[in-house]
Amino acid sequence: MKEYLLLMRGGDARMAEATEEESAKHMERWGAYMGKIASSGNLLGGMPLMQDGRLMTARGVQNGTVPSKSDEMIGGWLHFKANDYDHAVDLAKDCPLFEYDGNIEIREVMPMEM
């Protein structure tokens, strides 16, 4: 199996407008989704990210994150095992992020000898 990193973007503005009850139900769906992926043996890790960050270049460090053309920042990540891109897409398709118009960038992790 190959490894894939799923970068999750967007949905934050609509999620911020959700009621407490809507947020709780949404988090229940996240728990069920993550549980399903974990029980299949495909989940390697993942976490939400704080909105604040630091951008580091050879010239130094500045407060903030990489500017995005669509004002969507990476809000979290998942690390999956999958047979191929089609399998990774299949694992990601039920992600609750889509309920709030977020998107997921799926990238294969390049194996490296260490």
Nearest C-alpha neighbor of 30 from the set 48, 42, 12, 44: 48
Q: Where are the domains of the chain?
A: 2-108
Q: Which two tokens stand for residue 85?
A: 């891109």
* pLDDT 10s digits, 67-103: 766 557 888 999 999 999 999 999 999 999 999 889 9
Nearest C-alpha neighbor of 75 from the set 57, 95, 96, 51: 51
Chain centroid to Cα 61, Å, comes to 24
* pLDDT 10s digits, 28-77: 999 999 999 999 999 999 998 988 899 899 999 999 887 766 557 888 99
- pTM (predicted TM-score): 0.86
In the CATH scheme, what is the homologous superfamily, with its name and number, of domain 2-108? Dimeric alpha+beta barrel (3.30.70.1060)
